[in-house]
Structure 1
């Protein structure tokens, strides 16, 4: 009996609060098992396809290590390795991979691609990131908050920066489902779409979460238990970098913005990679014209004792492990998810 068995994990709004809370708690449990060196090969003998259109550090590493810990064999299929979308359609690829593999991870551009893979493959498909949603990141993020605060419901998380990207979308709907108040601080033309806001408001109606979307960064961060940001330009996004930097500099997480929370214990989150210093070639290129030493978050805040960014990054692995084990492991998970 497994409520999750053979289900895909494509976007957060497909799941309710009890289901998402279960995955978060299961991830914490699996992390503890690993720390105690207790084996947990729930996917012994399974084969996992890792399908990547976009480059990756955390998602690829997390799926690989999680699969191996669970006893499965992961096979990386990069965009130059197979005919996917060039010489062979998504549907045809899905049918072939579904006939050989027990589960498929996809990281790429269109949400429709991962949805089609799930419909046509006949095996669980896991969204490792699309332009619309980043659901595996959410299990890690809210897991990190639960480890730190011991609870989720009633916390306030503020996201500042590009409020229309996949991370902002996912935080908004996931927080709303879980009863976490979500504030988004972003310029008017970089705020979440009506569709995403409506989905979040509908979920918040059930959970009691409060949603605030504002162009005022000080208002957005007031009372926040956690501040969260992401890079200002998403992977593959074609924009005027100068215009974007000028739009978002007021939303940089720096010591002034942290002080504007009026709290001592506000934690800092970032899905990474982060342009917090000049040690990346892309970061240096963006900063050069503005004489900046950081973009979306200063090094001082990034390295501060309140920063949980590396705990959050490491938590991608047990979070993904929980998702894969629950959907493919045919575990005993009672029907408590009404």
Structure 2
């Protein structure tokens, strides 16, 4: 009899490799399916292999390949489906690819799970973008942040009762995936659960301008590069440290039968809400100098305010985020700064070696 396995699609990515590491450290077998298309993820895969050896199984494949997905799901007791196209900007440039990865890829995972004699539980990471631009939310400016005029929303954040309003091809494709996962619990009795995620950050994140903005801002600052703010920089998000997210995943797994068919908003909540300007202030504290800034126009679907109301998941599981934004940003800064220094040292050594070789 084969040992129980957890499948993580997109498992070499930032969130996936952090979950894989936690499971593997517990002695659990993990199968990672990833197409390794995102910059930096091969480093995450190498790290997992170095840390955990044969407990880790890797499948080089794409979720758009239904046959490969079906084979990868075989023998899995649960599936954490993280593989996705993750950027609004990319979805606007190539909506067909966005749809195929996010909507069709999720459908492939669900159908592969449904085809098993005993369907594994399926956990999907969705997005706050399923709630659209939140244009009806009346906001005021307080300091360098937008805040809701409604005191209840300001205190608690955006709850799951908020109507869905898919905005941008990315919002549509992730929203489609979100609703398929919810419905497979209703239509087929499968154990499925959705996390509508806000901004996750932490070690092993290689942020870009389009996704992973906390890491992106820190990386630009460390390299002495200019950061572009789209809009005025007062837009607010709740940030959640990745270890706290992994805790939430494990609680969801433990309570999956009771919670199946539900979608939960997941983020740091009002206590961990920061604006882009707030992050620049924190980077200045950590780095000793303020990053250079450029401004550009607002981007499609960019919510001026989004903070998760996580009270539903907290009531159901007792989960609470443990790492505050100030502490967590410091931890990520230290991790990225150490990598930056190490790479600088390697580059300097290589340059010295090249000069020496040229002297001969």
More strand per residue: 2
Q: With CA pairs under 8 Å and 6+ residues apart, which has the higher RCO, 1 or 2?
A: 1
TM-score interval, smaller chain: 0.3 to 0.5
With normalisation by structure 1, the TM-score equals 0.38
With normalisation by structure 2, the TM-score equals 0.36
